[in-house]
Amino acid sequence: MTDEEETIPVRPGDELQIESLLAYLRQHLSGFPNGELRVRQYPTGASNLTYLLEVGSWQAVLRRPPRGPIPPKAHDMRRESMLLEHIAPLFPLAPKPYLFCDDETVIGAPFYVMEHKRGFTVDDAFPPDVEVSEALCEAMCQAFVESFVAIHTLDYTAAGLEHFGHPHGFVQRQVQSWIERYQRSKVEEHPYGERLCRWLSDHIPAQQPAALIHNDYKVNNIVWDHNQPSKIVGILDWEMATIGDPLFDLGVSLSYWFEQGDPPELQAVQPTVTSLPMFWSRRQIAQAYAVRSGRDLSDLPFYLTFGYFRLAVVLLQIYARYLAGGASDDRFAAFGTRARVLLNHAWETIQHAQL
């Protein structure tokens, strides 16, 4: 899949101020080439807006916050850019940041520009030029787990990130924070919503040793090599990364990993290639992670339940913004229904204590 095929013309309402952006890049980005600036948008994702910038053969990626009202402290471009600046030298799968801009007169919001990782991403289907096989899918699952463990074993103090997060009491704060977000963003009562809030508050597991966590690690945030499709060449979307509980990160990741045996309404929440029968199940991913990391996963049902709850709240926040007119993407109209499906499934996970 080419860059042209992975991007779309910029959506109405998501346009950048091309002239002021071009002038800023020419002034502040070393080695920026002369020529016309071409901008296309990445169509996937429902959080930050992401664009491909091209001038001749030069390429980079720009990220900015979504339009409309956003939760406090969310979509912090400075924080994400700073994190990448610290970890890219030690973890080359992370894109190198080129510059950060907090002057909102340039494009109307803070933004940063980073390295473009050349490869392909997968959502609900592979690019047509990739020959899909059981061997390929298994190798991708192995690479997925290995890179995940590599993030969790990265020496974050060597990267200068020892003060980047607050690992003590991390899970308890996360649970409380996301419960508060749920209360603010819900547009109707859900039969299991309050029960989930109480159960999560009452079942917080013992604290795990701290690690760097991605906090949004999923298949479509990974860039795969065109020439060797099971090889990872980039990991994207570090917006929510911090220092915290690695099993929290695993639970969040598995909440995105829908599989063939899941109910159709759950698979429809976020269609993904992991639902193909050739991909590992959530249980297999967890088992492989346990073997490679040496961590005890006894409390994983809690983390997975929270992962489903958190994903539901993310969808509710976007849905509320959509209803208020702060987001114009028609994909968001179904997010209220999808959030209800996730809340139902989170409660089912509690009842059956299974992956």
- How is residue 271 annotated by DSSP? -
On whether both 76 and 143 belong to a single domain, the answer is: no
Asked if 60 and 141 sit in the same domain, the reply is no
Residues 196 and 237 in one domain: yes
d(CA 243, CA 33): 37
Domain CATH code at residue 62: 3.30.200.20
Are the beta carbons of 240 and 170 closer than 8 angstroms?
Answer: no
Number of structural domains found in the chain = 2
Compute the distance between CA of residue 154 and CA of residue 90 in angstroms, rounded to an integer: 8
Contacts of residue 285, Cβ cutoff 8 Å, sequence gap at least 6: 141, 144, 145, 254, 257
79 and 205 belong to one structural domain: no
**Nearby residues of 138 by Cβ (< 8 Å), 6 or more positions away:** 278, 280
Identify the DSSP state of 60: E
Residues 231 and 86 in one domain: no
The CATH number of residue 160's host domain is 3.90.1200.10
Place of tokens 């980047």: 164
Please tell me whether residues 71 and 205 are part of one structural domain.
no
Which pLDDT score is estimated for 237? 93
Does the residue 125 lie in any domain? no
| Shared domain check, 252 and 203 | yes
Nearest to 137 by CA among 336, 272, 300: 272
The answer to whether position 126 is within a domain reads no
Residue of 289, 252, 330 lying closest to 148 (CA atoms): 289
99 lies in a domain?
yes
Residue type, 191: P
> Cα 245 to the chain's mean position, in Å?
17
How many C-beta atoms lie closer than 10 Å to residue 28's C-beta? 15
Domain-ending residue, one of 86, 114, 142: 114
- The single-letter code of the amino acid at 351 is Q
Nearest CA among 77, 76, 118 for reference residue 95:
118
* Same domain, residue pair 110 and 142: no
**Predicted pLDDT at 333:** 84
From CA 318, how far away is CA 270, in angstroms rounded? Answer: 14
Task: Mark whether 272 and 325 lie in a shared domain.
Answer: yes
Eight-class DSSP state of 330: G
SS3 312: helix
pLDDT score recorded for residue 354: 64
Domain boundary among 64, 81, 114: 114
**Closest alpha carbon to 248 in 201, 211, 202:** 211
**CA 3 – CA 293 distance, rounded (Å):** 35
> Which tokens is 225 given?
């090599």
Contact of 64 with 70, CB cutoff 8 Å: no
Q: CA 248, CA 306: separation in Å to the nearest integer?
A: 8
Asked whether residue 68 falls in the same domain as residue 148, the answer is no
Task: State which residues of the chain have pLDDT below 50.
Answer: none
Q: Are 33 and 58 in contact (CB under 8 A)?
A: yes
Residues 180 and 300 in one domain: yes
Structural domain for 23, as ranges: 3-114
Got the DSSP string for 116-130? ---SB--SSS--TTS
Q: Which tens digits make up the pLDDT trace of 82-98? A: 999 999 999 999 999 99
Q: Which of 114, 145, 165 is the last residue of a domain?
A: 114
pLDDT for res 336 = 87
Torsion of CA 195, 197, 202, 205, to 10 degrees: 130
Residues whose CB is less than 8 angstroms from the CB of residue 288 and which lie 6 or more positions away in sequence, other chains included: 141, 142, 145, 280
206 & 319 share domain: yes
Confirm if 63 and 222 have CB atoms less than 8 A apart. Answer: no
